C-alpha cells in the first residue's frame, strides 16, 4: 500500500528525477517562466521554493548548498543577484502555476510555472486597480449633469437678451 507516500516519482529513477528537476529549476531561474505538465510543475515548485528561500541569506555556505542542487553556476548567480533582491520581503509562495489546457498528443494537462514578481500583467493590473478605485454615487452625478444642462441652456438665452438690449 502507498499510505503516506507523498513524492511523485514522475515515472523515473531517482537519479533521472533529480536531473530533471535540476534542469527545470535552472530554466525557470534563467527564463522566469516555463511551460510544462502540471505534475512536473507541482514537483518543481517543491524543489525550487526552498532554494529561493536559501538565496535570501547570501553566504558562501548557502551558495554551495544551492549549487549542489542546481549544478549551474550561471543559474546560481542569477538567483542570488536578481531574484533574491526582488523577493526579499515576500515570506513564501515565490512561484505561480497557471493551467493552460491539455497537450494534443497524449492529453496531458499543461501549465505555465513562473515567478510571482516577474509577471508584468498581474503586477501592473493589480496596481492600476488599486489606484483608480473611487467611490461614486448616482445622486451626485445626476445633480452635476442637471446643473450642467441648466448652465448650457441658460447661457444662450442671456446672450440673446444682451444682443437685444444692445440694439
* pLDDT > 70? residue 85: yes
| Tens-digit pLDDT profile for residues 103-158 | 999 999 999 999 998 887 776 665 655 555 556 666 665 566 656 655 555 555 55
Q: Are both 114 and 147 inside the same structural domain?
A: no
Together in a domain, 112 and 36: yes
- Cα distances (Å, whole numbers) of residue 40 to 57, 86, 99: 27, 25, 12
Do 20 and 99 share a structural domain?
Answer: yes
What sign does the CA torsion over 134, 135, 140, 146 have? positive
Higher-confidence residue of 13 and 128: namely 13
Whether 106 is covered by a domain: the verdict is yes
Amino acid at each position: 500500500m502507498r499510505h503516506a507516500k507523498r513524492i511523485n516519482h514522475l515515472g523515473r529513477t531517482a537519479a533521472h528525477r533529480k536531473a530533471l528537476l535540476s534542469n527545470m529549476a535552472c530554466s525557470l531561474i534563467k527564463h522566469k517562466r516555463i511551460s510544462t505538465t502540471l505534475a512536473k510543475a507541482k514537483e518543481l515548485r517543491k524543489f525550487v521554493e526552498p532554494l529561493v528561500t536559501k538565496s535570501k541569506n547570501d553566504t558562501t555556505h548557502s551558495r554551495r548548498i544551492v549549487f549542489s542542487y542546481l549544478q549551474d553556476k550561471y543559474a546560481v548567480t542569477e538567483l542570488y543577484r536578481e531574484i533574491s533582491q526582488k523577493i526579499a520581503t515576500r515570506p513564501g509562495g515565490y512561484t505561480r502555476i497557471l493551467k493552460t489546457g491539455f497537450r494534443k498528443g497524449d492529453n496531458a494537462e499543461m501549465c505555465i510555472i513562473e515567478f510571482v514578481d516577474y509577471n508584468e500583467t498581474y503586477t501592473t493590473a493589480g496596481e492600476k486597480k488599486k489606484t483608480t478605485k473611487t467611490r461614486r454615487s448616482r445622486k451626485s452625478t445626476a445633480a452635476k449633469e442637471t446643473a450642467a444642462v441648466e448652465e448650457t441652456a441658460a447661457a444662450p438665452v442671456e446672450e440673446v437678451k444682451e444682443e437685444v438690449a444692445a440694439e
